[in-house]
Amino acid sequence: MAVKGVFASHQNIVGARKGDFASGLLQTQPTGSAPLLALSSGMSSRDAMDTVATWFEENHLTGRINVTNNAASGTSFVVSDATQVVAGMIFYVESTGEYVYVDSVSASTLTVTRGFGASSVSALNGSSTAKAIQRVGTAFEEGSAKPTAYANVGFPRFNYMQIFRNAWDVTGTAAAIDWHTGDIVAKNKADASLFHAEDIERSSIWGIKAIGTLNGRPFRTMDGIKSQLLSNLYVESSNTQWADDLRPWLQGIFETNIKGQPNERIAFCGNGVLGVVEDMARKDSTINIMPGQTDFGMEINKLRTPFGMVTLMSHPLFNENATWTQDIMILHPAAIEYRYLRRTFGDDNDRTGTRAGADADFGTVTTEGCITYKAEKTGGYGSGITTAAASS
């Protein structure tokens, strides 16, 4: 039971005070209520100098673009994006196997040499359904002039610093009573720290960015990682299948990696998702029971794919409601960074004579910072994972 305001002498469970009948306190908590925040001790964190954290991201240029006109067998290709195309590039037409050489670029139109390298010229019509072409390299003649330069320009992203504060209060009378549960002041401080960590954890996952004023003063909240993930979003519409649903989704997540980092992922999810993963394994495999076997069931905490491996962790806060227990958030550990304008600190008026006449011990825990998830294409968020089905 939560108690708001000053913790008074009568606001405790029966049996916690030594004046009551002898008993102890069993406090039930989720098994580690802030694992993402706990893992941050081994992750990147930096001090910030402003209330806004800004970073730039650059997406890898795949060299794959679409032809959108009816080029037939002519030499003019109108493409969806010519910003990454310069004269001297060679493209492969995916639908026909033809190679073309780019002679010049004007706006969105490429003038090309068809049937490059003795490949067969085939009619190409992208007017109704766009046809993809893939860059396979560049080639220039001896003594060629300087080719046109091009660069990958990043785009800015930002998050606001959020102020987290939690308080504790104990009246002088409550502090003087002898408790079975030990120092009641220390316990309330520990509770405030626990709630503080949980608040940061919740906002780090599900927070939403906002800025304005509150009580006539600046007020900011931060985007959690879920809001920062834009690309690999998966919503299950019916029964989840491993080969048809989850594996193709994971393939998209593993297509992008951070330079110099292992291509690994960690997933936080609810117990509902873990149950579905076990059911998929059971329906897609065979379980053999041997004579004398004394245990039964599966414990699956890793998803192995041809692209990489995902380590699964049940997150206690995902299990708090029926919706989040069906969700899974897959992250690249190297992409997570906490930015602190003010790292966590306590401000206590605890038996120090600075309580301004109040007959109570009290204090606060404060943190001002935000979380950033860089290279968002390396992560993903899935929801609605409730029922498993065998792969088709």
| pLDDT digits 0-9 by tens, 314-360 | 898 999 888 999 999 999 988 898 999 999 888 887 665 566 777 88
In 3D, which of 137, 64, 65 has the Cα closest to residue 108?
Answer: 65
Distance of alpha carbon 12 from alpha carbon 18, whole angstroms: 12
The per-residue pLDDT for range 289-313, each reduced to its tens digit, is: 788 877 766 677 888 888 888 999 8
Q: What is the DSSP string of 164-210?
A: EEEEEEEEHHHHHS-BTTS-HHHHHHHHHHHHHHHHHHHHHHH---E
Domain check: are 128 and 179 in the same one?
no
> What pLDDT was estimated at residue 259?
80
**5 belongs to a structural domain:** no
Distance of alpha carbon 126 from alpha carbon 116, whole angstroms: 20
| Residue 132 host element (H or E) | strand 131-138
Kindly report the pTM of this predicted structure. Answer: 0.75
Domain check: are 71 and 186 in the same one?
no
Question: How many structural domains are present in the chain?
Answer: 2
Domain check: are 177 and 112 in the same one?
no
pLDDT band at 230 (very low <50, low <70, confident <90, very high): very high
The per-residue pLDDT for range 281-293, each reduced to its tens digit, is: 888 877 777 888 7
Domain check: are 194 and 76 in the same one?
no
Distance of alpha carbon 92 from alpha carbon 137, whole angstroms: 10
Distance of alpha carbon 264 from alpha carbon 254, whole angstroms: 8
**111 belongs to a structural domain:** yes
Contact of 335 with 379, CB cutoff 8 Å: yes
Domain check: are 162 and 219 in the same one?
yes
> What pLDDT was estimated at residue 101?
96
Domain check: are 68 and 217 in the same one?
no
Calculate mean pLDDT across residues 82-105: 93
Domain check: are 120 and 187 in the same one?
no
> What pLDDT was estimated at residue 49?
80
**166 belongs to a structural domain:** yes
**322 belongs to a structural domain:** no
Domain final position from 119, 142, 165? 142
Lowest mean pLDDT among 131-140, 163-172, 278-287: 278-287
Domain check: are 123 and 175 in the same one?
no
* The Cα angle at residue 305 between residues 300 and 311, in degrees rounded to 5: 45
Distance of alpha carbon 217 from alpha carbon 219, whole angstroms: 6
Domain check: are 214 and 73 in the same one?
no
**253 belongs to a structural domain:** no
Q: What is the DSSP string of 256-288?
A: ---TTS---EEEEE-HHHHHHHHHHHHHTS---
Torsion of CA 149, 150, 151, 156, to 10 degrees: 130
* Percent of all residues in the chain with a pLDDT value above 90, rounded to a whole number: 44
Domain check: are 138 and 188 in the same one?
no
Contact of 162 with 368, CB cutoff 8 Å: yes
Q: Is the model's pLDDT at 180 over the cut of 80? A: no
Q: Which domain holds residue 90?
A: 64-142
Residues 91-108: b if buried by 16+ CB within 10 A, e if exposed: bbbeeeebbbbbeebeeb
Domain check: are 173 and 113 in the same one?
no
**304 belongs to a structural domain:** no
